[in-house]
Structure 1
Amino acid sequence: MYIQPSSTLKKAHIVGVLEHICQALELTESQQRLAQERYEAVGNWLASSSDPLLRGLTIYPQGSVPLGTTVKPLARQEHDVDLVGWNGALPVTTQPSALKKAIGDRLRQSGHYKDILEEKPRCWRINYANEFHLDITPSISNPSCGAGGELVPDKPLKCWKPSNPKGYRAWFEKKASMEPTYRVMKSLGSGDMRANVEPFPTQAPLKGVLRRTIQLAKRHRDVHFAKTDPSLAPISIIITTLAAKSYAYCVSSFVFDTELDLVESIIRFMPLFVDHGHLNGKPQWYVWNETTQGENFAEKWNREPKLAGAFRAWQARALSDIQEMIGLAGLDTLNKSLAASFGEAPVAKAMGSLTSAVSEVRSAGGLTIRPTVGLAAGAGTVVRTNTFFGAK
């Protein structure tokens, strides 16, 4: 199959912008180090308590930080950092409310946390103004889960419910490590290749297509529902799970021209992995956590069916917006489309980073014409290259 170089280069250009948008949305290295220092300090403080409920308590991160899919919230500066306060020595007869109270009481005993502590329904939040907040959710071991699962409180704190943050991370890493296959250009010297075509340089860190697609999807969700009703927005674990399953399906089933085509396909096939049925005549939806039995990330959809419709409408819009970007002509038009989808601030920052990087390379005399930057290149159908999204 012959790939038009102009179309392929255009997609590579868009991929480069999307990469920089993702970088603008995530925790910086210094923020990550600071968050780690602070959650380790919290963990040491809790574990040093004389309260029997807290002896042996371990704090570890869950969610977007260890998965590498953090996205700065739309309406505030603070990042969310989710932590688990796990005590594997406690029996299942321990009341969720008792462990949660013990954690809160201990945190209040510290002058560092007392004034920045906020109670949430299932967790405790430590607010570091204009930086991030740490959410600490209590958990105990789940003896019924052979995969090392845990139990976390339900929202009313009346009972434990199954979860498996560490198992989920291992499951996700396995999906993300799968290698996509890209077609090669059959002609790199066609008349479409002009001498004024300049590449956008690759930036580190490079996280792989799955993680970047999740970041883009989460940000698109935030922008989309800010214009309608934020309470209808699909939660991040649903987007992450469906994207990971879709990614595994896509890379196992198809060959792609570019990374942008893979991004589009991941979003396109996400709804395939929402299981649905009926119970007592009412529709039911399931997005299962495959690492423990009984955790349905979409359980709220079954109480509020409009959430399922909102997800489907958002997914269709996200797919349409990606497809529209591919067909746009002109940088100004593309920038407007990107800003409408992901917000003006990260797009402006991304474009500024790209412009500065190209200028630096040009000033150093190192700018060369490389029509395959950001693409699979070579003389076969299975090619792994160091691209904007990076080989993962």
Structure 2
Amino acid sequence: MAETQYSYLVSEAINRRDAQISKTLRKSLSIENFHDSSHQLEALAHDIQLVNDHIKVDSRIFDEASSDYEGIASKLVEKLHWPNESIRIIPQGSATTKTLIRSPDNSKFDIDAVCSVDLTMVEVSDPMDFYEKVGSALEEWEPEPKKRCWKIDFQGRRYYIEFTPSTPLDKIPQSATGQITFSPSNRYREKALAVVDTPSKQWKTSNPEGFSSWVSDQSSRPLLQWLLEKSMRDSYSAESVTPVPAQDVEISDTLRVAIRLLKRHRDMAVRRNFIEPDLKPISIIIVTLLTQCYEGLADKGAVYTHPIELLIDLVELMPYMVERRGNEYWIANPTVEGENFAEEWNDNIKLKHSFDTWTNLLLEDLTEIMATTDKDSRRQTIKEVFGCTAAQSPTPPYGSGLAPKKPSQHHKAPPTKGLA
């Protein structure tokens, strides 16, 4: 079997992991370490599924979001006199990859959307003119300008929408094609867009629809033996991008479950003051590293007997999927050439240190879960780790009733050596 880009990264990650994680720890994380493994594994999988169900977002919210998308599109038509057929609203991010989770304190969360406009059908002079026209049309919602989007905080909603003006890449004016930042990769090239990068006032290549398709396509590749044996590939085929898909995900869809669990664990690490809110690993990094890892394992022909076994490998290997290119950390966007999701790490090393602190905590918590042989005790540990239980006496900052989990010495943030 020929080595692919991600199978090579996975092979390197396995070597680095095995060199840094002791044999004793590796044994404790092995599913073979379970007594009465079949019964224990099913109980563990059931508990993980309960967490997965607990953190998902209520499906009714997506009906509201779809309605809000329609309202935004109608407002653009009304205010700007743009043709209906020139505007396409595309949900992006966690909503389309089915990895959206609710926050531990039930605060508002963001649902991302792209407004794709065929610029050959409207009158726009330059990127900033386009960006400002979209913002002015949304003025009744008092949108907040961001780097590439407008943030709309709808009254009475549990979410806010980050709304990104864009155009299909082949629709930008010919005079601007030589100035656009980054190029689309060959993967999902037909879905590529140009968005407005307000700091540079230039067009920048983006591909949120392609990225979502990448995650869905990789998730559809069965790595579980029983899925292969029962020929269930069609049951897990990639979904077409629809207006905010339903968020029901089973543990057999292990990639998406892993993404959800790790995003929740990160949020709990912030909530429990292990890492600072401004330094927490961003979701796109977690999603990219896990999906790269999953694709690499699939390319290597890896087969697992149980979802928990695959979940453990994804969690263990994820930190080692980060590339080093020269003196820089790299997490490449698979759909846009030259875009590095870890770019800010190279400017602010505290972000990388925070990522390391979180992944160390993640490994410690996973080890504790796997080392607990009593079913009831393990369920309680899982609920505490992922914030699915209430303390008897809630105190700030755990105001919604979460029992604080004391950090070990191991998780103190590493020194920054004066780097900002």
Q: Give the TM-score normalised by the residue count of structure 1.
A: 0.73
Residues 1:336 and 1:157: Cα distance change in structure 2 (over 3 Å):
farther
Q: What SS is found at the alignment partner of 1:308? A: helix
Question: Does structure 2 retain, via aligned residues, the 8 Å contact 1:139–1:150?
Answer: yes
Residue correspondence of structure 1 range 207-222 to structure 2 within 5 A: 208-222=253-267
What corresponds to 2:60 in structure 1? 30
Deviates more, 1:285-294 or 1:138-147: 138-147
Q: What SS is found at the alignment partner of 1:74? A: coil
What corresponds to 2:338 in structure 1? 294
- What amino acid sits opposite 2:54 in the alignment? A
- What amino acid sits opposite 1:182 in the alignment? Q
- Of 119, 126, 148 in structure 1, the residue corresponding to residue 152 of structure 2 is 126
Q: Residue by residue, what CA displacement relative to the aligned partner does 1:33-67 show, whole Å, maximum 9, x if unpaired?
A: 22112212212221343356998232110000011
Deviates more, 1:58-67 or 1:249-258: 249-258
- What amino acid sits opposite 1:168 in the alignment? F
CA distance in 1, matches of 2:59, 2:149: 26
Question: Does structure 2 retain, via aligned residues, the 8 Å contact 1:49–1:106?
Answer: yes
What corresponds to 1:16 in structure 2? 46
- Of 228, 234, 237 in structure 1, the residue corresponding to residue 284 of structure 2 is 237
- What amino acid sits opposite 2:387 in the alignment? G
Asked if 1:88 is matched to 2:88, the reply is no
What corresponds to 1:179 in structure 2? 222
Question: Does structure 1 retain, via aligned residues, the 8 Å contact 2:169–2:205?
Answer: yes
Question: Does structure 2 retain, via aligned residues, the 8 Å contact 1:250–1:262?
Answer: no
- What amino acid sits opposite 2:134 in the alignment? I
Q: What SS is found at the alignment partner of 1:254? A: coil
What corresponds to 2:164 in structure 1? 137
Residues 1:326 and 1:347: Cα distance change in structure 2 (over 3 Å):
farther
Question: Does structure 1 retain, via aligned residues, the 8 Å contact 2:263–2:283?
Answer: yes
- Of 254, 277, 293 in structure 2, the residue corresponding to residue 246 of structure 1 is 293
Q: What SS is found at the alignment partner of 1:337? A: helix
Q: What SS is found at the alignment partner of 1:17? A: helix
Residues 1:155 and 1:309: Cα distance change in structure 2 (over 3 Å):
farther
What corresponds to 2:324 in structure 1? 276
Asked if 1:105 is matched to 2:136, the reply is yes
Shift of 1:14: 1.9
Shift of 1:83: 0.4
Asked if 1:206 is matched to 2:250, the reply is yes
CA distance in 2, matches of 1:78, 1:131: 5
Residues 1:183 and 1:166: Cα distance change in structure 2 (over 3 Å):
closer
Q: What SS is found at the alignment partner of 1:152? A: strand
Report the RMSD for the aligned CA atoms in angstroms: 3.1
Q: Residue by residue, what CA displacement relative to the aligned partner does 1:314-342 show, whole Å, maximum 9, x if unpaired?
A: 22321332232111133453244224421
Residues 1:25 and 1:157: Cα distance change in structure 2 (over 3 Å):
farther
Question: Does structure 2 retain, via aligned residues, the 8 Å contact 1:118–1:124?
Answer: yes
Q: What SS is found at the alignment partner of 2:86? A: coil
Q: Give the TM-score normalised by the residue count of structure 2.
A: 0.68
Shift of 1:119: 3.5
Question: Does structure 1 retain, via aligned residues, the 8 Å contact 2:77–2:83?
Answer: no
Shift of 1:216: 0.2
CA distance in 1, matches of 2:54, 2:125: 43
Question: Does structure 2 retain, via aligned residues, the 8 Å contact 1:264–1:319?
Answer: no
What corresponds to 2:398 in structure 1? none
Asked if 1:303 is matched to 2:334, the reply is no
Paired positions, count? 319
Q: What SS is found at the alignment partner of 2:113? A: strand
Residues 1:96 and 1:24: Cα distance change in structure 2 (over 3 Å):
farther
Residues 1:141 and 1:182: Cα distance change in structure 2 (over 3 Å):
same
CA distance in 2, matches of 1:272, 1:130: 39
Q: Residue by residue, what CA displacement relative to the aligned partner does 1:255-278 show, whole Å, maximum 9, x if unpaired?
A: 324211111101111134322122
- What amino acid sits opposite 2:364 in the alignment? S
Deviates more, 1:135-144 or 1:291-300: 135-144
Question: Does structure 2 retain, via aligned residues, the 8 Å contact 1:224–1:314?
Answer: yes
Shift of 1:5: 6.5
CA distance in 2, matches of 1:287, 1:217: 17
What corresponds to 2:4 in structure 1? none
CA distance in 2, matches of 1:76, 1:99: 35
Shift of 1:253: 4.1
- What amino acid sits opposite 2:103 in the alignment? P
- Of 100, 125, 145 in structure 2, the residue corresponding to residue 70 of structure 1 is 100
